[in-house]
Amino acid sequence: MIRRPLRMRAQRGSRAVAALIGAALCAAVLSACSGEAVVTHPTPEASQTPIVLTTLPPIGFNHRYGNNPVAASDAFAMERRLFAQKQYWEVGLRTDPAQAGFVDEGDAVATASARAKSTDMLLILASESLPTLRALLVAGDAGQQQYCQDLVEQLRTQGYTGLRKVNLVVFFGESDRHAELDWSPGAGYSFKVLDNNLNGALLTPIPTATPFATPVAH
């Protein structure tokens, strides 16, 4: 199989990487929205009293980060923490059932309840930053697994206590699906590299990159 040349940038990911994350989350967003409501437009009666909405529902969030407001907020917060540590990953988070996360984020109790109701999670990391990718690769497969596990554990300790399945996917650039981490209560963690670490291509001619430290928790 001939691989498309991997295009990287020295710093932050491109718009294409953001689009990749958005595409991976989009199907879940559409699925969640499809069964929410059916809007009809009945003919009003002459004596009908107009309905006045005093507040709008809490639906404003960035779909690039997540498939509901709580997931999007948690993904954005993780991305900011990683950037602060010069670990230039773009982060996307999908949680199911998606509808559980449609709450007012200003309500701490509702947000905590939304996280606890999530049963499935998909976490996506994507980057075109060469220093970021090299720092991951030089840790070896075991180090990569530990790094990914630490990120999942950060989310779980934020209150995602009802999870039955977690899948984390790492993308290098726009198209290389580098690795996957899976977790379930019974099986625990499993990790697999899908691209043979690009046969060491990203570590040449700089094989002395420093592995990432444990990600700082929230």
Question: Is the model more confident about 216 or about 65?
Answer: 65
Residue 19 included in any domain: no
If we measure between CA atoms, which residue out of 114, 93, 98 comes closest to residue 160?
Answer: 114
| Whole-number Å distance between alpha carbons of 150 and 127 | 18
For residue 164, give both structure tokens: 């039955």
- SS3 track for 102-156: CCCCCCHHHHHHHHHHCCEEEEEEEECEHHHHHHHHCCHHHHHHHHHHHHHHHHH
Q: How many helices (H) and strands (E) does the chain have?
A: 5, 5
Residue 60 lies in a domain: no
The reply to whether 194 falls in a domain is yes
pLDDT of residue 145: 98
Predicted model pTM: 0.75
Residue 92 lies in a domain: yes
Residue 44 lies in a domain: no
In a domain, 80, yes or no: yes
User: Is a pLDDT exceeding 50 seen at residue 4?
Assistant: no
Does residue 113 fall inside a structural domain?
yes
Which range of residues forms the domain containing residue 69? 65-218
Q: What is the pLDDT of residues 168-185, one digit of tens each?
A: 999 999 889 999 999 999
Q: Tokens representing 55? A: 């507040």
Domain count, the chain: 1
Q: 74: closest CA among 42, 34, 101?
A: 101
Domain membership of residue 142 (yes or no) is yes
